[in-house]
Amino acid sequence: MKILVTAATIGTMFALVDPAAATIVCASSQGPGPMCKVCSGFVAGVFRDSIPVPGTWTSQMCLVYAKSVGGTQWQLGCMGQNEFHWAAAQATSDTGPAIPAPNCGW
């Protein structure tokens, strides 16, 4: 049941985004090539839900997503062709944001 509720919440979030703006495009970064934004919500030792997100997403959108999947922590990341770079994990009560290095546009 929790999965259905989460799917409905996510569907609602994406419905509010312009479809053209929701295209995931990897941007140039401070690193050795293009990198995509990644958002993660999780409960340590229980589950992690990480998704690639459009370049238009802000850190606050990631925080809202993390809370919507029942996460007690959230994390911003950057995904390259052969690598991930994660910022420090934060409690969902901490609006942060901690930024990954290299930064892909967070």
DSSP 59-94: HHHHHHHHHHTT-SEEEEEEE-SS-EEEPPPEETT-
Rounded-to-integer distance, Cα 3 and Cα 87, Å: 27
Rounded-to-integer distance, Cα 64 and Cα 95, Å: 10
Instruction: Give tens-digit pLDDT for 10-45.
Output: 443 333 445 555 566 676 655 566 889 999 999 999
- Split at pLDDT 50, 70, 90, the class of 8 is very low
Instruction: Give tens-digit pLDDT for 42-78.
Output: 999 999 999 999 989 999 999 999 999 999 999 999 9
Displacement of CA 83 from its chain's centroid (Å): 16
